[in-house]
A and B are shown apart, each in its own frame.
Chain A
Amino acid sequence: METSALALLKKPWVLITLLVLFCLPFTTSNIHFHHVLIMFMLFATLSQAWNVIGGFAGQVSFGHATFFGIGAYAALVLLKRFDLSPWVGMLIGGGVAVIVALLIGYPVFRLKGHYFAISTFAVAEIAERLFANWDFVEGAIGLPAPVLPEGLVNFMWYKTKMPYFYIAFILFVAVLLLAYKINRSRLGFYLRAIKQSHEAAEGLGIDTSKYKVMAMMISAFLTAICGSFYAQYILFIDPPSVLSLDISIKMVLITVLGGAGTVIGPILGAAILIPLSEYSRILLGGTGKGMDLIVFGALILFISVYQPQGLVGFLRKTGKS
């Protein structure tokens, strides 16, 4: 039952796609294109992280931005206040996120259905307000990254985005393999059982709380890692940019559109939303007048009604898988 994660790479179409993705930035020196690729990979990874708890386990969390924010703040705050390398900050952020997931997980997972979803909203809002009023992290003012020399140690580059691309690529592949492995492992099996029917799973003797919290912890860790990356990429964070509902929602939207519970779902979803977002921003200015979200909302609506499995469902129908 347990498959090696690397088995995924043995499939030719996966290898080819990854290779092409890796080569894409070299086709042009346009920085914005690189940016779009990096954002795509970041959000695909982020949504994959959400997928572990939201898709595999069916526990729809609307508060994942909390973990994203923890990762982002850990990286920059520790850098600014203690001169700690953001890589260390990233790991610490991941650790904190796991602890938070554990602490919130047990009580919140006792709630059923909609009560659970609403609780995730509540947790996220509380987190955002707390950070916005916490002087240590500069509160609502926001935290710009200190202006330090470029390089791997400081995890920041200004003149080119390529190092970010490589790191994002590694993250993307790593999390992809991890998700694949989880999906095919016993944990994945249990999560699917829980998603299908909570009561039946309990009846089978599965410790639902334990596995839900485990999935949440993994999800939280990965989400925080993405948050740290984001902080080091954007070099300025404030509560609205890393702890807001918008980010939580984006994670959900991308995964569901692509196909929650599948490994390729988040990737498909991100491949559509991110270019849509970025290019509508260029064309229409600022936030692109929300054009990307209009399309997305409509797509989600459409998908929920006609193809709840997401884009993956469509692909399956047409024979590709």
Chain B
Amino acid sequence: MDIEILLQILISGLLMGLIFALIAVGLTLIWGVMDILNFAHGEFLMLAMFFSFWMFSLWAIDPLWSLPVTVALLFAIGVGTYYFIIKKVLNAPGLTALLATFGLSILIKNLAQFFWTPDFRQVQGAILGDKTLSIFNLNVSLPELIAACGSALITYLVYYLIFRTKTGRAIRAAALDRDTALLMGINIDRVYALTFGLGGACVGVAGALLMNFYYVFPSVGSLFGILAFVTVALGGFGNITGAFYAGILIGVVETAGGVFVSPVFKYTIVFAMYLVIISIRPKGLFGW
């Protein structure tokens, strides 16, 4: 096999992986801080993509320009989800929180299907459009490249927020020991709401960027959702850098597996790899 094809696989895998990473970062944040696995994360992504799509379709606003709006909307949805649902199940026995977000995901997905039909939609004629770049004989789709760069940037920003700002410290404190943080005067309620909002915002960015080159349909959240869960678990609960690397790993494995084994098994290989890794390291690659 050509070295060219190999590099192409690596690049394509890396680009997609960075996007998986961003989606996972939002999820792992929520998990790390509140010990809640947001089952509706994939559906949030789907909503972000649809909002982008509709803004383009109805008002001809390019996904690049509408990105801030999408992010704001998803932030609001995240915060709203916290106040109306999560807050009430925080103290409930284990199963409950999981099932609450689960119910939410079913609800959102089927409402989307009811209102927007299961048809696949695409943005056609966006600024980034179908342009391809040729770098050293490698074909890189421009929208994908932008999406990947955007994802990497936002991931870094989140990391910076969590580890280098005062707000971030509050979030970390709440994650480590909720009661002590409360005692120290941290408004846990606000921290949690912010965290959920941030998780939504991350997914908002990812969705808006994805819309430049991906199809959207009500069930698109399911696949990305499961991949996000696997990424997060692989990276270790609450671990942002872990999720980042895990995302890239999954992107590359998926593309490579698709080419070297068979395209129909591209995700199967990812899941199998997850099971193998998790049995050796039950808390993920970087978990503690």
Verify whether A and B have any Cβ pair under 8 Å: yes
Indicate if the CB atoms of A308 and B226 lie closer than 8 Å: no
* CB of A7 closer than 8 Å to a CB of B: no
B274 and A114 form a contact (CB under 8 A) = no
B278 in the interface, Cβ–Cβ < 8 Å?
Answer: yes
**B37, CB-defined interface residue at 8 Å:** yes
Q: Does B107 contact A (CB under 8 A)?
A: yes
The smallest C-beta distance from B58 to any residue of chain A, in angstroms, reads 22
Chain B nearest CB, measured from A111 CB (Å): 5
Interface size on B, residues (CB 8 A): 46
Q: Which residues of B contact A129 (CB under 8 A)?
A: 264-265, 267-268
The interface residues of chain B lying within 8 Å CB-to-CB of A111 are: 278, 282
**CB distance B106 to A114 under 8 Å?**
no
- A305 in complex: contacting residue of B89, B95, B265, CB < 8 Å: B89
Stretch at the interface among B63-71, B110-118, B185-193: B110-118
Identify which of A122, A253, A299, A303 contacts B230 (C-beta below 8 A): A122
A260 at the interface (CB under 8 A from B): yes
Q: Which of B37, B95, B108, B272 contacts A260 (CB 8 A)?
A: B95
> In the complex, A294 Cα to B97 Cα: how many Å?
19
B85 in the interface (beta carbon within 8 A): yes
Nearest CB to that of B111 among chain A residues? A294
- A186 at interface, CB cutoff 8 A: no
The answer to whether A301 touches B85 (Cβ under 8 A) is yes
A293 at the B interface (CB under 8 A): yes
* Binary A-proximity of B103-129 (CB < 8 A = 1, otherwise 0): 111111111011000000000000000
Interface flags, A113-129, vs B, CB<8A=1, else 0: 11101110111011001
CB distance from B41 to the nearest CB of A (A): 12
Set of chain B residues within 8 Å of A110, measured between Cβ atoms: 279, 282
Contacts of A297 in B (CB 8 A): 103-110
Contact A60 B110 (CB under 8 A): no
Asked whether, in the complex, the Cβ of A121 is within 8 Å of the Cβ of B226, the reply is: yes
- Assess whether A125 is in contact with B271, with CB atoms less than 8 Å apart: yes
- 6 A-B residue pairs with Cβ-Cβ distance under 8 Å, sorted by A, are A58-B94, A114-B37, A115-B237, A115-B282, A122-B230, A133-B264
